Amino acid sequence: MLKIKTEKMMGSELQPGNLFSTAGPEHWDTAGQNGSVGEKVYIFTGNYPVEDSEIYRIVIGVDYEATEKSPEIDALLTTITGKDRVETIQANKCTTCGATDLKFKDALSTKEYTISGMCQECQDKVFADPNG
Ligand SMILES: [Zn+2]
What residues does each domain of the chain span?
Answer: 2-62, 71-126
Give the pTM.
0.65
- Residue 33: pLDDT over 70: no
Q: Give the sheet arrangement for strand 19-21, strand by strand.
A: 2-10, 54-62, 19-21, 42-43
For residue 112, the surrounding DSSP H or E stretch is helix 107-116
> Would you state the pLDDT for residue 35?
58
Given this model, what pLDDT does residue 37 score?
65
Kindly tell me if the per-residue pLDDT of 97 is higher than 90: yes
Q: Report the separation in Å between the CA atom of 102 and the middle of ligand 1, taken as the mean of its atom positions.
A: 9
Lowest mean pLDDT segment, chosen from 35-39, 68-72, 85-89, 97-101: 35-39
C-alpha 84 – ligand 1 centre gap (Å): 15
State the distance from the centre of ligand 1 to the C-alpha of 123, rounded, in angstroms. 7
